[in-house]
Amino acid sequence: MNDLRIERVDTTDPLLEDWRHVHNVIVPPAAMDLDEVRERAGRNHLEVAYLGDVLEDVLVGCTTVRPPTDDTATATVIARVLPAHRHQGLGEQLYVRALAQARELGARRIETVVLAANTEGLRFAERHGFVEFDRYTLPGESTLWIDLRLA
């Protein structure tokens, strides 16, 4: 039987590479090296998820929770599942966990950000009550991002 196992990533953890792998597969225009992931782990709550049984663990996804940092108490929650493991309820489990973490950190408003080309990610966010409020490209880049807020 396979069980979802979720592990917190810290700045010195070998799990940084697994988080980086999932991120880079799902968001290739914003691919990160290990130093960038390490920096992100120092300011955000990062986790990786594995499907495991007695014989092996298989990396399936990761989450990011950016804690609230301003007077609006807005946190950003991102759940990512590798394509081979989608449509099994894993994204739902990761999202629910990340949402609870954001609220424990004092979030009163929840946002997410999705690569516009990630149509599955957009549909997932919309099914969970997120509404688009901004589209943008970063300076010097052509990748379109969508910011969504939990209604």
Per-residue pLDDT at 67 exceeds 50: yes
Sheet containing strand 74-81, edge to edge, reads 3-9, 45-52, 57-66, 74-81, 109-115, 145-150, 130-136
Question: What pLDDT, in 10s, does the model give residues 71-97?
Answer: 889 999 999 999 999 999 999 999 999
Question: What pLDDT, in 10s, does the model give residues 8-28?
Answer: 998 777 899 999 999 999 999
Question: What pLDDT, in 10s, does the model give residues 29-56?
Answer: 999 999 999 999 999 999 999 998 656 7
Contacts with 108 (C-beta within 8 Å, 6 or more apart), sequence order: 68, 72, 73, 74
At residue 83, the pLDDT reads: 94
Higher-pLDDT residue of 24, 3 = 24
- Least Cα distance to 47 among 2, 96, 89, 115 occurs for 96
Instruction: Return the axis-axis angle of helices 15-26 and 34-43, rounded to nearest 10°.
Output: 100
Q: Which residue has the tokens 């209604």?
A: 151
- Residue 5 contacts residue 49 (beta carbons within 8 Å): yes
Per-residue pLDDT at 2 exceeds 60: no
Question: What pLDDT, in 10s, does the model give residues 116-151?
Answer: 999 999 999 999 999 999 999 989 889 999 999 999
Rounded to whole angstroms, the Cα distance separating 19 from 44 reads: 13
Per-residue pLDDT at 64 exceeds 50: yes
Neighbours of 35 (CB within 10 A): 9
Fold exhibited by the domain 3-150: Aminopeptidase (3.40.630)
Q: Which residue ranges make up each domain of the chain?
A: 3-150
